[in-house]
Structure 1
Amino acid sequence: MPEIPLTMIVVLCLAAAAAGWIDAVVGGGGLLLLPALLLGLPNVPAVHILGTNKAVAIVGTTGAAVTYVRKAPVDVKIAVRIGLAALAGSMTGAFFAAGINSEVLRPVIMVVLLGVAAFVMLKPAFGTAPATGPATRQRTIAAILLAGVGIGFYDGLFGPGTGTFLVLALTAVLHMDLVTASATAKIVNVCTNAGALAMFAYQGTVLWKLAALMALFNLLGGTVGAHMALKKGSGFVRGVLLVVVFSLIAKLAFDQWVG
């Protein structure tokens, strides 16, 4: 592992905690965690950043998933079906991630961030309606292909925003409310993280010591965030998410074209 200043380790651990909280509440913790790693470890190859990100994220996502399953109405059978497809998709995406570099990754993340910000601003009431009942076979298959294979592949290849994309896809395709979609997304996200992490670990592109420390903070943030989401819903985090997203866009744009 490269030498990392203590102050930067502290900053990365705090970012991991914040990312876990955001991911548990509304999804998209990777929108904070991955750029933080890119900014904090500028001389580390992008594939190692991606691998370390997965090792951190899977811990917090698992903690949030356990909290949700205990207290939220989740159709575990559907979640597992989508999750298995997502696991295969994420392993495939991670296999192709070895050829990515930071110069390509930063603009991609900026586009993703802008897309998420626009959606959150333009659709503030999305997912507030109650769930419409059991999903039909056709909608379940569509969710497996979109949320499982498609978003799973994206998560293995890039990753940022996966939780948010899963929540949006599950709400749109399966007509879930946001809390149920968030809970289901966590189970699926555990599978995408596991598939991608397995491939990154096989390729030897994980900074395990740093990841283990950051994972503890990510777990804490994810557990707290899941409890808050169950109590308050996801509306209260929209403003925070937008502030974080636009701040990261500005910083990544500065590093890409000015710094």
Structure 2
Amino acid sequence: MPDIPLTVLVLLCLAALVAGWIDAVVGGGGLLLIPALLLGMPQAPAAQVLGTNKAVAIVGTTGAAVTYVRRAPVRVGRALQIGLAALAGSMGGAFFAAGISSDVLRPVILVVLLGVAAFVLLRPSFGTGQPPAGPVRRARVVTAIVLVGGGIGFYDGLFGPGTGTFLVLALTAVLHLDLVTASATAKIVNVCTNAGALAMFAYQGNVLWQLAALMAAFNLAGATLGARMALSKGAEFVRGVLLVVVLSLVAKLAFDQWA
């Protein structure tokens, strides 16, 4: 582990705690965790920061997924189908991460997020209804596997921040899930995306394991608490957090782009 001052180490652990809570409720924990790691280790290569972030995030995401599966109406089999496509996509994204500038991706993602924020604001009922009781058409499931799993998985390995948020929104739109069920399903898929990207980063030697292990304990605590709050407070609570996270992500990407 690099020589990190105790004060910085404490702040990194607190960031991991809050990021775990955010990620469990609606995704987007990387919005906080990646900048925290960049500030705490300014000399570390970007790939090392991304790899360490994945090692931390996979622990909290797994804890949140277990909490959701125990208490939410999640179709685990379908989530794993999407997750396997996401795992393959994230490995591909991580493989190409070193060769593509994030400056190319930021403007595109910024426009997409602004559209997402407008949609959620203008559609108050989005994600607050009940999921369909009958079987979902196969075409929607295939779309979820290919586009939601493979596409967002690739983005997660390549760039990362906001992946959980994109998963929640896409699953809600494609499979007509309520936001709580979408968050629960997204956690299972996100475990797979994190696993795929982490495997590639670990193979490349870009994970600080000791630091990740310490931060992961705090991330797990935050994620477990976040999942329980989302389950108890319902879709309206998740929708409110979703808007805050999306707008925060827009602000961060805009700052990175033009600062």
Q: TM-score, normalised by structure 1?
A: 0.88
- TM-fit CA distance, 1:112: 7.1
- TM-fit CA distance, 1:2: 2.6
Inter-CA distance 123–45: structure 2 relative to 1 (3 Å threshold): farther
Inter-CA distance 74–249: structure 2 relative to 1 (3 Å threshold): closer
In 1, Cα distance between the equivalents of 2:239 and 2:66? 23
Inter-CA distance 163–245: structure 2 relative to 1 (3 Å threshold): closer
Within 5 A, what are the aligned runs for 1:56-71?
Answer: 56-71=56-71
Q: 1:3 maps to which residue?
A: 3
In 2, Cα distance between the equivalents of 1:74 and 1:53? 26
Is 1:176 equivalent to 2:169 in the alignment? no
- TM-fit CA distance, 1:134: 2.4
In 2, Cα distance between the equivalents of 1:11 and 1:109? 28
Within 5 A, what are the aligned runs for 1:85-104?
Answer: 85-99=85-99
Inter-CA distance 214–141: structure 2 relative to 1 (3 Å threshold): same
- TM-fit CA distance, 1:33: 1.4
Inter-CA distance 138–112: structure 2 relative to 1 (3 Å threshold): closer
- TM-fit CA distance, 1:39: 2.6
In 2, Cα distance between the equivalents of 1:122 and 1:69? 31
In 2, Cα distance between the equivalents of 1:216 and 1:126? 34
Counterpart contact for 1:47–1:101, Cα < 8 Å? no
Counterpart contact for 2:89–2:151, Cα < 8 Å? yes
Within 5 A, what are the aligned runs for 1:19-38?
Answer: 19-38=19-38
Q: 1:50 maps to which residue?
A: 50
In 2, Cα distance between the equivalents of 1:150 and 1:207? 27
Moved more, 119-128 or 207-216: 119-128
- TM-fit CA distance, 1:38: 2.1
In 1, Cα distance between the equivalents of 2:151 and 2:253? 26
In 2, Cα distance between the equivalents of 1:229 and 1:192? 22
Q: Secondary structure of the residue that 2:226 maps to in structure 1?
A: helix
Within 5 A, what are the aligned runs for 1:205-244?
Answer: 205-236=206-237
- TM-fit CA distance, 1:7: 1.2
Residues paired across the two proteins, number: 258
In 2, Cα distance between the equivalents of 1:130 and 1:78? 18
Inter-CA distance 161–248: structure 2 relative to 1 (3 Å threshold): closer
- TM-fit CA distance, 1:211: 0.8
Counterpart contact for 2:179–2:239, Cα < 8 Å? no
Q: 2:146 maps to which residue?
A: 145
- TM-fit CA distance, 1:40: 2.5
Q: Gaps (5+ residues) in structure 1? A: none
Inter-CA distance 210–234: structure 2 relative to 1 (3 Å threshold): farther
Moved more, 129-138 or 34-43: 34-43
- TM-fit CA distance, 1:253: 6.1
Counterpart contact for 1:103–1:256, Cα < 8 Å? yes
Amino acid aligned to 1:145 = V
- TM-fit CA distance, 1:236: 2.9
- TM-fit CA distance, 1:243: 5.4
List per-residue Cα deviations over 1:152-203 (Å, max 9, x = no partner): 0001111111111111111111111111111111100000000000000000
Inter-CA distance 149–46: structure 2 relative to 1 (3 Å threshold): same
Counterpart contact for 1:25–1:226, Cα < 8 Å? yes
Q: 1:13 maps to which residue?
A: 13
Q: TM-score, normalised by structure 2?
A: 0.88
Q: 1:200 maps to which residue?
A: 201
- TM-fit CA distance, 1:55: 0.3
In 2, Cα distance between the equivalents of 1:18 and 1:71? 22
Q: Gaps (5+ residues) in structure 2? A: none
- TM-fit CA distance, 1:42: 2.0
Q: 2:188 maps to which residue?
A: 187
Inter-CA distance 129–75: structure 2 relative to 1 (3 Å threshold): same
Counterpart contact for 2:165–2:242, Cα < 8 Å? no
Amino acid aligned to 2:189 = V
